[in-house]
Amino acid sequence: MSKIQRIVSIVIALYLLLVLIDRFVLVELLIRRVGLSVLIALFEAFAILGVGFAVRGALARAWRAEDADLTRDFLLGYPVFGAVCFLTGTLNVSSWSMGILLVVCGAGGIYILVRRFESRPPSMPVIAEPLVLIALAIVFLCALIAAQAPPSSLDELAYHLAVPWTWVKEHRAIELPLISVSYFPLGIESADLPLLTILGQIGGGIASHFLHLGAALAATAMLFRLSRGNALALAAIVTTPALALIAGWSLVDWPLIGICAILVLALDAGDVATISMAIAAGLLTKYTFIPFAIIAIVVARRWRGLLPGIAIGSIFFIRNLILTANPIAPFFSAAAPHVAGYRAPFLSDYVFDGHFLDESLGASIIAACTLSAGALPWILIAAAVLLFLLAPSSRILLPFLAIPAARSHRPRRLTRVLLGLSIVVQLFLIGYFVDRGGAFSLLSAAASDTEFLAKQRASFKTVQSIDVLLPADARALVIGLNETFWFARRVRGGGNFDGPRVSRYLEMPTPEALYARLKNDGITHVAVVAPAPATTSVAQKVAERETALSSAAQRMLAQTLDRYASNVAPGAGATVFTLR
C-alpha cells in the first residue's frame, strides 16, 4: 500500500466515523452527559503522571523525560498525588485550593508527556493471541459502560467516595471517627478531592470512575510485563469477576495490584528508586500491601530503598498515631470492623456465590496460580491460603493471587483449553452483571442519572427526603444508614460494619452528657432512618449494610431526643429531629 493510499484511507475512515457519531444521537447524549467528567479526569491523569515522575525522579536524583514510563509513573503517582491533596486538604478543601494543585501538577504532567514522546515514540505491547484481545476488549468495554454511570455500589457510597465528599462539604480533611475505614490509608480516595470539588457528586463520581478505569488499564499493562508476554495468564487475571466487575468503580484494588506488579518488577531489576516509590505508593493505598511487600522484599533480599519509601508512605500512619495513638487504626482498637469471617471459608463459595457476585474469584486466576514458577509466587499463594482460612473479603486475596498467576508457566494444550473455557464462562458472568446493573439505560437515554440511582439504591430517595428537611447550615447525625455519599448537606454517620462504633458514641451515662457531646461535635439534627426491607438473607451482607445499635445506645438516644428535640419532621423512610 502506497503512502498516499494510506493517508486517503485514514481521512475517509475519520470522516465516516465523524458522520456516524454526528448522526448517532446516543453518542451525542453520552458526550453531553459525561464529556466534561472525562476531560477533567484526563487532566488529573496528567497531574498524577507529573507527580509520579517528579517524586521518582527525586528518589533517583535524575529527571530525564526520555526515561519516563507512563504506566509506571501513573500508578505510582496516583496515591502520592492523593496524599498531596490530603495534606493540602488538612488546611483547606475548596475549588481554588484543589484547582491550583490540579493545574500545577497537570501542566507538569503534560510537559513530561510531550517531552517523552519527542524523545521516544510510544509503543504498544503486542498481544499475538486474538482470543485474548477479544476477552480484554469485552472486559474493558463492560468497565466503560459501568464507569459512565453514577456511583451506586455500597463500598463507594459508604466510604470510598463518602469520606472525600464529606471533606469537600466541611472544607477540610477532618477526622471522621464514626467511619472506621476513614482511618485506612486514603491515598487513592483523596485523589478524588479535586474532581468532587470541581464537578460535584454526580460529575465528580463519574470522573472518579474514569480515572480508576485508567488505573485498571495501566495495571493490566504492568501485569503483561510481569507475565513476560504470557497473554493467556493476563486474560486469566483480568477476566476474574472480582476484578473485571470493579474496573469502572472507585475502588482501590486495581491500582494496588498494579503497584504490587511494579514492586516485583523493580525488585527483579534492582531499581532502587522504583522500589522506594512502589513501597510509598502501596503504603498510601491499602493495609493489604504491608504483608505483600514484606514477603516480596524478604524473598528478594533487597533492602536498599526501604527507608525513603516508608517515610513517604507513612503519612496516614502518622495521622492515625496523632489522632488515635494507633498507627494502624481502626484495627486493635475498640469497635474495630470485622475483617475476618466475612465469607464462609469454602473454596467453592469464593469461586462463585450468587450473593457475592462482585467478589467471585472465578476459576481462571486460581487455575493459573497452579502453574506458578519461582519462590515468591508460591510463598504468596501460601499467604493467600492462610488469609483464606480467616474467611475475609475475596478482594483482600487478589494481590496474593494475581502476581503468582502473572508469573505462571505458559500452559500446554489441555490446560490452555480449560483456561480458555474458564475465561469464556467468566465473560458471560461479567456481561450478565453489567446488564443487571442497569447502566445500559443511561446509554440508551431511557433513564436519567437520578432515575438510575433511585432504581439502583433504595436509600437514594431517603437521602433526598432528609436533605430537603435539613437547612443549609445543618450538620446531621444519621442513624440507620451508612450510605452517606449522596447527602448534599453535612452529615455524620457510620460506615460498613460500624454499628458497634456508633453505639459506643451514643452510649453516654445520661441524656445531658449525650446532648453535650452532640452539641460539642456541631450536630444540629438527628436523622433516624427506618430499617429498609432486607434485600438479602446473608447475615454478613445484612450486618455490613445495617447500622444496628445496641439496646443501651437506643435507649440513650431515645431519652435524649425526647428531652432535647425541639421539632420532629417525618420524611420518606426517615424522621428528622431538630436539636435545641
Bridge-based pairing state of the strands 565-571 and 490-492: unpaired
For residues 204-229, average pLDDT: 96
C-alpha separations of 175 from 26, 86, 154, 268, 411 in Å:
43, 12, 21, 39, 50
User: Which tens digits make up the pLDDT trace of 100-137?
Assistant: 999 999 999 999 999 988 877 767 677 768 888 999 99
User: Which tens digits make up the pLDDT trace of 428-473?
Assistant: 999 988 888 888 888 878 888 999 999 988 889 999 999 999 999 9
Q: What is the pLDDT of residue 437?
A: 86
φ/ψ (deg, to 5) at 563: -90, -35
Q: What is the pLDDT of residue 525?
A: 95
Q: Which three cell numbers stand for residue 164?
A: 472525600
495: pLDDT strictly greater than 70: yes
The HSE-up count of residue 440 (CA atoms within 13 Å, CB side) is 9
C-alpha separations of 532 from 101, 480, 535 in Å:
41, 9, 9
Instruction: Return the top range by mean pLDDT from 307-321, 381-395, 437-451.
Output: 307-321
Burial of 348 per CB tally in 10 Å (0-12, 13-18, 19+):
exposed
Of all helices (H) and strands (E), which one includes residue 469?
helix 459-469
For residues 221-240, average pLDDT: 94
The pTM assigned to this predicted structure is: 0.94
User: Which tens digits make up the pLDDT trace of 32-86?
Assistant: 889 999 999 999 999 999 999 999 999 998 888 888 899 999 999 999 999 999 9
Cα angle for residues 366, 389, 232 (degrees, 5° grid): 10
26: pLDDT strictly greater than 80: no
C-alpha separations of 208 from 125, 160, 248, 418 in Å:
26, 10, 9, 36
For residues 293-310, average pLDDT: 94
Q: What is the pLDDT of residue 544?
A: 66
Spatial neighbors of 372 by CB under 8 A, at least 6 apart, are 378, 381, 404, 405, 407, 408, 409
Omega prior to 185 cis, within 30 of 0: no
| C-alpha–C-alpha distance, residues 135 and 140, integer Å | 9
Q: Which residue has the higher pLDDT, 534 or 443?
A: 443
Average pLDDT, the chain: 90
Q: Which residue has the higher pLDDT, 332 or 325?
A: 325
Reported as a pLDDT band with limits 50, 70 and 90, residue 546 is: confident
Q: In what order do the strands lie in the sheet with 525-529?
A: 490-492, 475-479, 525-529, 574-579, 565-571
Spatial neighbors of 477 by CB under 8 A, at least 6 apart, are 491, 492, 493, 518, 523, 525, 526, 527
Burial of 300 per CB tally in 10 Å (0-12, 13-18, 19+):
middle
Burial string for 231-247 (b: 16+ CB within 10 Å, else e) reads bbbbbbbbbbbbbbbbb
User: Which tens digits make up the pLDDT trace of 548-579?
Assistant: 888 999 999 999 999 999 888 887 788 999 99
177: pLDDT strictly greater than 80: yes
Of 320, 76, 420, the C-alpha closest to 218 is 76
Is-contact 545 154, C-beta < 8 A?
A: yes
Site of grid cell 451508612: 482
